Amino acid sequence: MGTETADPESRQPVMADVAKLAGVSHQTVSRVLNGAPHVRPGTRDRVLAAIRELDYRPNSAARALVTRRSQTLGVVSFESTLYGPASMLDGIERAARSAGYFVSVAGLRSLDSRSVQETVDRLRDQGVEGVVVIAPQTSAVSAVAKLSSSIPVVAVGSGTRSSIPTVSVDNRSGAVAAVQQLLDLGHRTVHHLAGPAGWLESQDRREGWHRTLEAAGAPAPAVETGDWSARSGYEAGQRIAALADVTAVFCANDHMALGLLRALHEAGRSVPEDISVVGFDDIPEAAYFIPPLTTVRQDFGELGRRALELLVAELGGTTRPTARVRITPEMVLRHSTGPAHRP
């Protein structure tokens, strides 16, 4: 039997093929691909036309070796279907794509120091240029603080507690706005349905709630605690509904507010006539609750954009290690809040 030879038409085109078709040198093709200046417009057009005609795809691994740029960023994320962390990840991915970066995402069940360090090391070995760590829990902040990495790292959602550049929503100011809105409506005080311990968002929103009541000279009722779920909001809501003096509740997220609304409805407590309710997040469904939920909106797209800007600046060596970006959320007024009922 004779030896079969590969069909030359079936092989993938290489840079030399582009150079031959465009009538230029291999180095000129390389300069065009890398966006180098000082290439004549007509030459650049011929090279780009040859690339399109041959359907040439640069070898990204080889290109990265030459340019030391992979155009890939790593993201270390907490494995969660919760709206906040999931939306942070979506915002970062969208911003990265818009800026021309690929994203390699590593989801972890536990954001402990060892897991975070091993994951950042693995992403670095894959050639990512920098890493974003979504760090919404105190354990994650501790893990980030202990990171040893030769590539830039930015934390998202860790407030001002991280020792590296961070981007976060100003949860305290959002809580202040929510509670002040209720006090301005004439409510004597505001009850609070908090998120779980160990979550930075929960801690900051609870602190904002308490500080606002304290500044107004209003009593601070005992705090109910949930786990971010509608079920936990419903269970806490059953206890809240049994308190005759409750006229306003600030919930640490919208899902718990949803459970609270059902518990109040079942107990015959009308919203907002008897009790006003404010949430936090402005999930897409919030406008369709019964009644539509007044809440605090977080701009996760802006969070992702600012995180990417901070990381790219760090890649360029223009970001201070102490850089902190805080994004102020905004109140969204709907129909779950109203004036305090006066007997």
Secondary structure, 3-state, the chain? CCCCCCCHHHCCCCHHHHHHHHCCCHHHHHHHHCCCCCCCHHHHHHHHHHHHHHCCCCCHHHHHHHHCCCCEEEEEEECCCCHHHHHHHHHHHHHHHHCCCEEEEEEECCCCHHHHHHHHHHHHHCCCCEEEEECCEHHHHHHHHCCCCCCCEEEECCCCCCCCCEEEECHHHHHHHHHHHHHHCCCCCCEEEECCCCEHHHHHHHHHHHHHHHHHCCCCCCCEECCCCHHHHHHHHHHHHCCCCCCEEEECCHHHHHHHHHHHHHCCCCCCCCCEEECCECCCCHHHCCCCCEEEECCHHHHHHHHHHHHHHHHCCCCCCCCEEEECCEEECCCCCCCCCCC
Q: Which amino acid is at 293?
A: L
Number of Cβ atoms within 10 Å of the Cβ of 76: 29
Q: In which residue ranges of the chain is pLDDT below 50? A: 1-8, 61, 64-67
pLDDT at position 320, please?
Answer: 64
128 and 104 Cβ atoms separated by less than 8 Å: yes
Instruction: Please state whether the predicted TM-score (pTM) of the whole model is above 0.95.
Output: no
pLDDT at position 36, please?
Answer: 67
Pairing, β 153-156 against β 130-134: parallel
